[in-house]
Every structure is written in structure tokens, then in C-alpha cells.
């Protein structure tokens, strides 16, 4: 069918033509927004799940919901080995702009605090170029959020921004993607300041998204984090939602899938949103006419898999060194040895991986740690690991 009218959108963070199966999270977030704006205690949302389930897209939708309510919002993506100061400063700068506080001197003050906060990253000795803070021309405010202790600074900064929002009867939302990649000091400071802010009833929330072990990262940092955040597991779509994700956009273009085609699509994609978009796109391009049939799905599958091999799996696999690839393949083998379905999201014992490779577990720690850091695997419980990418085991076995 006409590729120009192809509605599907495979790609990280690509807004899907139909956001299926996320009504519950959207509704829950509306309640959070209302309550926080009224200064009532409320746990913020943290979205967790494997890669490709739609966390980034949902996080962006939550942000849009906040914007529609007149909130000031900002977003950042955490990166390993990067301090929170700079990206957070830009996100808050954006949020302050969106708030549209009518009194210029108060806005200037808040921006000046943000500048002091970010300059602290470079240290007082830093050259001018490093002190440059994008787009903020307000004079630096000294003695606020610039102590160098991230916890103190974050509490002061978020309190000031929250206060600015409270002044105008609005809220501020800070959206953090890939939250598991924040450094330990930043995580701990973030939890502490969210705790403080919620106690003072200021209308500011941090909304996060990250891999399945994010709750463990947060609670290892501060035991009370479970009471700060409401964890929402974002998972593959149910059959119903997956059908809707395909049918609704097709319907917009006066096309449809027949029943067997929908069944074949679910069998191939497992309901994982990224796979749904990739298959949807390939099948649309291959199908000669509507309705799309199971035969069309079968014909287009190799193309969809090729796309996924490059865009979804390959880009991650490429980041692994030879030793790390051996480790990944051993993980896939360990899963099959157990008789488990290696495509399932199951975890394997690190001891079993070592056994597959015929090595001592300790000697494999460097490979395992590097893979954890690269976000290819995660550890939800001690001594066990799992792929962060669904169907990764299957992809690896096909490689071999």
C-alpha cells in the first residue's frame, strides 16, 4: 500500500500514531497533577520497563498533560558519568519560562539561582567557557544552591522553583528519562529533595522513566523512596491494545487488518510496542491492498526483522566488546539450558552464565559490569541478570 501514507512509527521515542493501552497511567497522572497543584501529598510516577515498551513516549505524553494544565515543565535524559547539574538546570530553565510568572524580578532571581547551581559543576576556578550557562542572562545569585553539596543545593533549587510555581497557582514537573543512569550522589540528592519538597507541600514533582531495576536503584539510595514514588510497570500490550495500536492508525487511512492478520501480528511482536510499529510499517509497505492478511504479515516479516536487527538490536549489540558479546550469548544459552523460554523476560543466574562459559564467576565480573553500565543487561535481584531488550536472546541465537 502507499508508503507515503504509512502511519506506523518505529524508532526510539517516536510518537506512535495511537498510544494504546496506557489509559491507566494517564488517568493516574491526572490525579497526581490535580493533587500536587493543590499542595496535597502525592507520590509521583516512575515508569519502569524493558527497552522498546514505550516509556519515553509515555513520559512525553505525561509531560504534555502537565503542559495542558498550565504547568511549567522540563525534561532531561540521564547519562552514565554525567552530573545532574547541567541537564537539570536546562530543564528547570525551560520550566520557569513555561510558567510565565508575571513578576520579572522574581523570575530573574530563580534564573540566577539556576545559574549559580550549574556553575558549581565547573567549580569556582573554571574558565569562563565552562561557566557559560545556555540562554540564562540573569545575574548569578550567590549563596543559594551553590554550596557544592548536591543534596543541599538541590533542595534549595527545587524549593525556589516550586515556590515560584506556587505563587502563580501552578506546578512544575521535571521529567527524567533513563533515570537509572543517574550517579549515586545525584540519585540520593534527588530522593532527599523530593522528600523535602513533598513535605513542604510545594507543587513540584519529578517524574521518572527507566529500566526495570530503577526501583532497586532508588531504594538502595534512600529507603523511603518507595513512599515517594508510585512505580508503574510499563509492559508489552495486551492483545486488545495491540490490535488497537494497529487498527486505529490503519482506519485513519481507510485500511484494516483482518482477524488472522492481527493474530499473526501478535504472535510475531509479542505485543511489544517497538515490534508492533516495526512490523506495522513493513507489513503496510508489502501488502498489496486492504484488508491486510496473515499472508501479508508472513511475507513482510523478514523485512521487519531486518529493520529491527539494525535499528533496535544491532545498535545495542554493536556497543559490546567481543568478551561482552560472549557473555551475552552465554546468557541466552543459559536461559535455554534451563528449559526456559529465552525470549521471555526471565532472568538467569550469573553462576549459570559462568558455567556455560566454563569460567569462574569472578573472572567475568568486568564483562558483566560493563554490560550493566551500557544498559544491555540489568540485575533485578542479587546474583541474577536479564536482558534489557526483549527478544534479545532470539536475536543473538540468530546471529550465531
Ligand X SMILES: Nc1ncnc2c1ncn2[C@@H]1O[C@H](COP(=O)(O)OP(=O)(O)O)[C@@H](O)[C@H]1O
- 42 backbone φψ class: left, alpha, beta (φ>0; ψ -120 to 50): beta
Quote the cell numbers at residue 87. Answer: 541537564
Q: Which does 21 bind (CB under 5 to 8 A by kind): Mg ion, ligand X, none?
A: ligand X
Identify the DSSP state of 229. Answer: E
Residues paired with 292 in a beta bridge: 257
Q: Give the nearest distance from C-beta 177 to Mg ion in angstroms.
A: 6
Binding residues for Mg ion, rule CB under 5 A, total 2
Across the beta sheet with 348-349, the strand order is 348-349, 384-387, 377-378
Binding site for ligand X (CB under 6 A): 9-14, 16, 19-22, 49, 51-57, 245, 273-274, 276-277
Nearer to ligand X, 16 or 203 (CB): 16
48 binds Mg ion (CB under 5 A): no
Whether cis (ω within 30° of 0) applies to the bond prior to 291 is yes
Backbone angles phi, psi at 324, to 5 degrees: -70, -35
CB of 388 to ligand X, least distance (A): 9
Using Cβ positions, the residue closest to Mg ion within the complex turns out to be 56
Strands of the chain, DSSP E: 44-48, 72-77, 172-177, 204-210, 229-233, 348-349, 377-378, 384-387
Q: Which does 16 bind (CB under 5 to 8 A by kind): Mg ion, ligand X, none?
A: ligand X
Instruction: Give which of Mg ion, ligand X, none residue 390 binds (C-beta under 5 to 8 Å, depending on kind).
Output: none
Phi, psi of 112 (to 5 degrees): -65, -35
Q: Considering beta carbons, is residue 272 or 327 the nearer one to ligand X?
A: 272
| Of 13 and 169, CB closest to ligand X | 13
Which partner in Mg ion, ligand X, none is near 276 (CB below 5 to 8 A by kind)? ligand X
What's the closest the beta carbon of residue 333 comes to ligand X, in angstroms? 26
Output the smallest distance, CB 221 to ligand X, in A.
Answer: 22
Torsion, Cα of 71, 74, 78, 82 (10° steps) = -130
C-beta of residue 346 within 8 angstroms of C-beta of residue 386: yes
Question: Within positions 61 to 80, which residues make up the interface with Mg ion, using CB under 5 A?
Answer: none
Query: Which parts of 102-121 interact with Mg ion (CB under 5 A)?
Result: none
Nearest to 279 by CA among 291, 297, 254: 297
Contacts of Mg ion in 24-43 (CB under 5 A): none
Helix (H) or strand (E) holding 257: none
Select 174 or 245, whichever has its Cβ closest to ligand X: 245
Residue 56 in the binding site for Mg ion (CB under 5 A): yes
Query: How many CB atoms within 10 Å of residue 322?
Result: 8
What minimum distance in Å lies between the beta carbon of 7 and ligand X?
A: 11
**Residue 247 binding result from Mg ion, ligand X, none, given CB thresholds of 5 to 8 Å by partner type:** none
For ligand X, the closer of residues 131 and 247 by Cβ is 247
Whether residue 96 contacts residue 113, with contact meaning beta carbons closer than 8 Å, is answered with no
- Is position 180 an interface residue for Mg ion (rule: CB under 5 A)? no
Minimal distance, residue 234 CB to Mg ion, in Å: 10
Which chain residues interact with Mg ion by CB under 5 A? 55-56
Amino acid at each position: 500500500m502507499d508508503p507515503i501514507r504509512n502511519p506506523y512509527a518505529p524508532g526510539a521515542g517516536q510518537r506512535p500514531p495511537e498510544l494504546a493501552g496506557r489509559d491507566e497511567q494517564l488517568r493516574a497522572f491526572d490525579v497526581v497533577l490535580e493533587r500536587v497543584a493543590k499542595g496535597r501529598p502525592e507520590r509521583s510516577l516512575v515508569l519502569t520497563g524493558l527497552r522498546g515498551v514505550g516509556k519515553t513516549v509515555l513520559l512525553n505524553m505525561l509531560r504534555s498533560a502537565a503542559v495542558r494544565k498550565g504547568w511549567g515543565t522540563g525534561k532531561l535524559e540521564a547519562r552514565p558519568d554525567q552530573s545532574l547539574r547541567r541537564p537539570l538546570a536546562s530543564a528547570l530553565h525551560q520550566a520557569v519560562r513555561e510558567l510565565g510568572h508575571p513578576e520579572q524580578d522574581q523570575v530573574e532571581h530563580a534564573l540566577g539561582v539556576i545559574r549559580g547551581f550549574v556553575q558549581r559543576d565547573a567549580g569556582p576556578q573554571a574558565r569562563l567557557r565552562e561557566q557559560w550557562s545556555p540562554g540564562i542572562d540573569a545575574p548569578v545569585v550567590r549563596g543559594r544552591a551553590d554550596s557544592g553539596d548536591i543534596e543541599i543545593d538541590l533542595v534549595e533549587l527545587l524549593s525556589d522553583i516550586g515556590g515560584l510555581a506556587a505563587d502563580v497557582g501552578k506546578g512544575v514537573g521535571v521529567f527524567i528519562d533513563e533515570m537509572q543512569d543517574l550517579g549515586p550522589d545525584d540519585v540520593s540528592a534527588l530522593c532527599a529533595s523530593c522528600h523535602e519538597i513533598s513535605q513542604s507541600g510545594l507543587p513540584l514533582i519529578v517524574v521518572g522513566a527507566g529500566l526495570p531495576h530503577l526501583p532497586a536503584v532508588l531504594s538502595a539510595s534512600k529507603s523511603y523512596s518507595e513512599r515517594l514514588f508510585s512505580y508503574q510497570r510499563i509492559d508489552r500490550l495486551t492483545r486488545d491494545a495491540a490490535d488497537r495500536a494497529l487498527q486505529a492508525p490503519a482506519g485513519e487511512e481507510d485500511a484494516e487488518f483482518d482477524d488472522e492478520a492481527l493474530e499473526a501480528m501478535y504472535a510475531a511482536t509479542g505485543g511489544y510496542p517497538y515490534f508492533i510499529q516495526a512490523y506495522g510499517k513493513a507489513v503496510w509497505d508489502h501488502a498489496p491492498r486492504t484488508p491486510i492478511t496473515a499472508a501479508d504479515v508472513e511475507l513482510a516479516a523478514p523485512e521487519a526483522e531486518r529493520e529491527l536487527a539494525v535499528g533496535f538490536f544491532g545498535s545495542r549489540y554493536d556497543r559490546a566488546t567481543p568478551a561482552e558479546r560472549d557473555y551475552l550469548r552465554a546468557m541466552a544459552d543459559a536461559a535455554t539450558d534451563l528449559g526456559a523460554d529465552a525470549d521471555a523476560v526471565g532472568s538467569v543466574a550469573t553462576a549459570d552464565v559462568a558455567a556455560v562459559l566454563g569460567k569462574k564467576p569472578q573472572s567475568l565480573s568486568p564483562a558483566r559490569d560493563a554490560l550493566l553500565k551500557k544498559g544491555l543487561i540489568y540485575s533485578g535481584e542479587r546474583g541474577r541478570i536479564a536482558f534489557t531488550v526483549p527478544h534479545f536472546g532470539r536475536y543473538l541465537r540468530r546471529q550465531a
